[in-house]
Amino acid sequence: MFPYYRFREGVEIASIPVFMTRLGYTAELGYELWAEEARALELWDALLEAGEPQGMKVIGMTALDLFRIEGGFIIGGVEYDPTVSPYECGLGWAVDLEKGEFQGRDALARDKDGTRLRLTSVALEGGGDEASGAPLWVGGEEVGFITQSVVSPHLGGKTLGLAKVPKDLNQPGQAVEAQVGNERIAGEIVGHPVYDPERRRAKKS
């Protein structure tokens, strides 16, 4: 095991050279493995064989989306694209405006206070994955939207979504309504992320 957000070269798994990183977006202790394409299936089979006694299971993108939304991880094309400010999608921590001049610095400095929306988590009384993309309303005014939603086991089966809302409304307990089809569904802003906000499991060493 090695620290979160680090990598290792020269690793071999079943005699297959692997580039290993401590990354992922499941909010759990995990690794990403990179190998030559010609040996990828061999590596896959070796991992399944080694993991079988521990009860390891294969999961798909639906489960990964659940983990990433409960863990508050963003993904390109959903929470952000080239037009979205880092302050809007929860990446403001990665911007250093004090490092000196760089391309785009002035625009980012304006965005820091000028960008209206902030990334957060919202829990709804229903809607499931159909709430993805739903507008959010407060007091009869449309204020934001859900980027993607799932039914969350961590919240006891409630609908959980990552959402963009005005920063002055981004407070746990703030009541909202989501327009899902022809139905208005009650909900509220919740602590973000809802699962392991300090990333203790992912950073475990």
- Residue boundaries of the structural domains of the chain: 7-58, 66-190
Residue 202 confidence (pLDDT): 86
At the top level of CATH, which class does the domain 66-190 belong to?
A: alpha beta
pLDDT at position 146 is: 98
Question: Do 95 and 86 contact (CB within 8 A), yes or no?
Answer: yes
| pLDDT, one tens digit for every residue, the chain (205 residues) | 788 889 999 999 999 999 999 988 888 889 999 999 999 999 999 999 999 999 999 999 999 999 999 999 999 999 999 999 999 999 999 999 999 999 999 999 999 988 899 999 999 999 999 999 999 999 999 999 999 999 999 999 999 999 999 999 999 999 999 999 999 999 999 999 999 888 888 888 6
Q: Which residues contact 31 (CB under 8 A, 6 or more apart)?
A: 20, 21, 22, 23, 24
Looking at residue 193, what is its pLDDT?
Answer: 96
Contact of 169 with 175, CB cutoff 8 Å: no
pTM recorded for the entire structure: 0.89
State residue 205's pLDDT score: 63
